[in-house]
Structure 1
Amino acid sequence: MPPFNSLELIKKVDTWPYYQHDPDEYRVFVGNYYYFIIEGCKAPLGYTHASFIEAMNWPPDWRIDHEKRLLVLSGTSNFNERTKVMQATLRQGYKDGKVQCLLKGGREPIPVISSAGEHMLDMDLCGVDIFGIVTFGVHLTAYVRTEEGLKYWVPRRAMTKTPYPGMLDNTVATNLASGQKPLEKLAQRALEEASIPEAYTQRHAKACGTVSYQMSRTNDGKPGCQHHVQYVYEMELAPEIIPTPFNSEVEGFRLMSLEEVAEALIRGEFNFRAMTWIAHFIRHGIVNAENETGLAEVCARLHRKHDIFMV
């Protein structure tokens, strides 16, 4: 494999600072964010950048405390009321040009979960990096065994796909909506994105734990917050199972060697999926303590604990 610095790649993705490293520097950084909370909840649900607070025309259900930097959803008492207000807020934001993602009918709702594990409301996908909530996804690395060693099926995202058009990706990757189970959703998306039969994925996909990290920008490159938790799977494909695009989200699949994947990661051809690949390399002993001096920090930052707290 070519010279490969896992820690440097991780630092480009896991960009939200750590309070423990430098509390004073963290306070300065988070001073540009407001805490998204629901009236009556003790802990915040996410971080919203001040630029979005200032740009939005907030409906009456929202209360903003500039001194304490609080964005408070108030006047709601149950799940349905909160979801309705959030939907109306995002639609107004899109109408005003402040939310850059079209709210399509029938889009799968993303759950907003409190620190106590309570499902507080559902939110359209376009709001998750604006309000800085924790989101969950499921990701698959599919490979085949060849005489030259393992090779990986790597898709290129369609140029019409937002975000990250035309970039390389994991074999299958998708968000988890409210009520969805990881393996069930993975099998569904493997069929839709790669034409892999659902029964094959259900039978052969192997769970490999999670990867988690936190980014300090939105998908369109603006200041924001993204907490990601990936349920990670691997699957060996039989020679006759060849991933091919089934819908319009993938331009095509290419069988790539380990060296080719590593070189593409170094060139920045993948989006934040670099985290998933590094975790795969560690599981298979490709990245280890002998060739990665920062392995302890690499492993820690692949499994970031999403504590949302006020300072």
Structure 2
Amino acid sequence: MSYLDKVRACNAWDPGEFIPWTLAGERIGSVRPGFAQELRRWPEQFRVEAYRVDWAGAPDGFQARTRVLAEVVQTLVETGLIYPQHGEAYAVTPGRRDQARCLIDRAAAPWFGVRAFGQHLNGFVRTGGGIELWVARRAANRLVYPLHLDNLVAGGLPHAVTLRDNLRKECREEADIEPALADRAEPVGAVTYCRGARDGLKPDVMYCYDLELAPDFVPRCTDGEVESFTRLPLAAVAQLVRDTDEFKLNCNLVVIDFLVRHGGIDQEDPDYLPIVQGLRSCLP
């Protein structure tokens, strides 16, 4: 295995297996043709064609579209087609979060191929032997990647919550990092990837942060999502990412981005440019 393998795994999808979901001429998502057929239940809303699904009957207004889409999603949940809702609202957008045309529950976002946003934070310590990273081990009851390794802090970014406020919340819940310390996190860019999954498509954006921590800082999970934390030398974390499947898949990208920025991947590496380019994939 290699770093590039992990980048490619996060970008494994076939555009030919999806058709655009459009609203007023804008692509706001991507759906599998089989799922598109399920939307024929609402002919007054969706015009289903071989090459796209057009939300032709969408009402005017943000709130009205959100309400109609929520009713559609709830019916699909009740029929057992998609997962129960999380109660966390994500933007349905052709691009940025502030361009949201309506909202969709987080659980339904992949089915509609909606762009999802999140925040991931690398917590690190400088020692005499070099940089060490704090990594989390996800709790056994996690529905996705139970007991896998994770970034120190990672979470979804709901609509209408600022980046600063959401990062503060995630830091407090996942690692007991106080707001004043969370505010010292350095925004270092964003990682994008697009991956096909059983439940649809994940064209995701992860805002990334570095937070230098004191040697005596010890994280503590307060929301039950993390089983334990371990502080490891950067080389050991790099080996876990490169040679194992211990990390939750998309968290590999956040660590690889950290390695690129901190000299952990040599520029002479023949995979260097494909890795760097793969961390910023174009999203449909």
Shared fold by TM > 0.5? yes
Say whether 1:33 aligns with 2:14: no
Aligned residue among 220, 233, 247 for 1:257:
233
The yes-or-no answer on 1:180 pairing with 2:177 is: no
Residue 172 of structure 1 and its aligned partner are, at CA, apart by: 0.4
Match of 2:29 in 1: 46
Partner residue, 1:293: 270
Structure 1 residues 11 and 240 mapped into 2: Cα distance closer, same or farther (>3 Å)?
same
Counterparts of 2:192 and 2:133, CA distance in 1: 22
C-alpha offsets along residues 119-146 of structure 1, whole Å, 9 cap, x if unaligned?
2001100111111121211110001123
CA distance in 2, matches of 1:270, 1:299: 19
- 2:67 pairs with one of 51, 64, 84: 84
1:103 correspondence with 2:80: no
Structure 1: stretches of 5+ with no match in the other structure: 17-28
Counterpart Cα distance in 2 of 1:141 and 1:212: 17
**What runs of 5+ residues in structure 2 fail to find an aligned partner?**
none
- Rounded Cα–Cα distance in structure 1 between residues aligned with 2:196 and 2:56: 22
Deviation at 1:47, TM superposition (A): 0.6
**Structure 2 CA distance, aligned partners of 1:154 and 1:277?**
10
Matched with 2:7 is 10
Residues 1:281 and 2:278 aligned together: no
Matching residue within 50, 56, 76 for 1:67: 50
Do the aligned residues in 1 keep the contact of 2:134 with 2:231 (CA within 8 Å)?
yes
Q: Is the CA contact 1:13–1:215 (under 8 Å) kept in the aligned structure 2?
A: yes
Letter in 1 for 2:219: P
The code of the aligned residue for 2:133 comes to Y
Q: Do the aligned partners of residues 32 and 234 (structure 1) sit closer, same or farther apart at CA in structure 2, a change above 3 Å counting?
A: same
Aligned to 2:171: 190
Confirm or deny that 1:205 pairs with 2:185. yes
- Bigger mean CA deviation after superposition, 271-280 or 155-164: 155-164
Q: Distance in 1 between matches of 2:48 and 2:257?
A: 40
Q: Identify the match of residue 246 of structure 1 among 222, 231, 237.
A: 222
Q: Secondary structure at the match of 1:293?
A: coil
| Counterparts of 2:56 and 2:154, CA distance in 1 | 31
Contact 1:196 1:241 in 2 (8 A): no
Question: How well do the aligned residues superpose, as a CA RMSD in angstroms?
Answer: 2.0
Q: Deviations over 1:18-70 (max 9, x none)?
A: xxxxxxxxxxx4343231112xx222111111232345673354323233332
8 Å Cα contact 1:56-1:93 kept in structure 2: no
- Asked if structure 1 preserves the Cα contact closer than 8 Å seen for 2:85 and 2:108, the reply is no
Alpha-carbon distance in structure 2 between the residues aligned to 1:162 and 1:144:
30
Instruction: Please give the alpha-carbon distance, in whole angstroms, between the structure 1 residues aligned to 2:202 and 2:195.
Output: 5
Task: Describe the superposition over 1:134-189 as per-residue Cα deviations: whole angstroms up to 9, x where unpaired.
Answer: 12111100011233322111111112222222211111011111122223211211
Distance 1:244 1:5, change over 3 A: same
When residues 61 and 170 of structure 1 are mapped into structure 2, their CA distance, relative to the original with a 3 A threshold, is farther
CA distance in 1, matches of 2:204, 2:47: 26
Instruction: Give the Cα–Cα distance (whole angstroms) in 1 for the partners of residues 58 and 131 of structure 2.
Output: 56
TM-superposition CA deviations, 1:206-244 (whole Å, max 9, x none): 110111111111xxxx15211111111001111332101
The change in CA–CA distance for 1:128 and 1:205 in structure 2 (over 3 A counts) is same
Q: Distance in 2 between matches of 1:155 and 1:172?
A: 8
